[in-house]
Amino acid sequence: MFAFGATIGTFASIQIKIRRFLIMISAELVLRWIHIIGAITLVGGAIVMRCAYLPAMAESAAADFASAFRRRWSKLVMISSGLLLISGFVSFFLLVKQYELPSQYHMLFFIKFLLVFAVFFLSAALSGRSKLAEKLRKKEKTWLTINLILALTVVCLAGLMKTTERTPKTSQATYSDSTTVL
């Protein structure tokens, strides 16, 4: 009877750990999706702005369309930037907590972080209504090209970071330390 009770307690403990693991994996997956959707929106937007919007505006002088387009695009820029910041930081901290990362990873993260802020700034400024936005739009082709190059560089850095070697951190407590046997 004692062994049977201990087995049930161990089984219940394993079930709890499996549930916690699945919840953690699910949260990380949702976080990853949010990050990817934000990145797709900003990078895709940079491509659309440079390769479709700008040439279309050169062919027509529809200032009303440009203003309406930028007003709608600016909302997407702000939402995507916010989602990327939050999901990126949470993902980074979870990764650092779970893995030993080489120093190159941290260097790449810092470079990516700086480039991302440049993309956020240019995307927001080019879609805004401020005097700075007006000034930047005087050389819109140049700034959209720079923004596109920066955004694509961020995507390439993210791919490189994803392939960086990661060593799982060893847990201080072993499985037997965390279970109690009655």
Q: What backbone phi and psi angles, to 5 degrees, belong to 173?
A: -100, 140
pLDDT tens column, 71-93: 888 999 999 999 999 999 999 99
Task: Kindly tell me if the per-residue pLDDT of 179 is higher than 50.
Answer: no
At residue 111, φ and ψ (nearest 5 deg) are -60, -45
Say if CB 143 and CB 126 are below 8 A apart. Answer: yes
How many residues comprise the chain? 182
Least confident of 81-85, 98-102, 134-138, 175-179: 175-179
pLDDT of residue 7: 58
Q: Is the Cβ–Cβ distance between 105 and 164 less than 8 Å?
A: yes
Tell me the per-residue pLDDT of 103-119, one tens digit each, with 9 for 90 and over: 999 999 999 999 999 99
Distance (Å, whole) CA 158 – CA 108: 8
Give first-to-last CA distance, the chain, whole Å: 11
**Predicted pLDDT of residue 129:** 87
62: pLDDT confidence band, cut at 50, 70 and 90? confident
Q: Which two tokens stand for residue 119?
A: 């993309």
Q: What is the mean pLDDT of residues 134-139?
A: 93
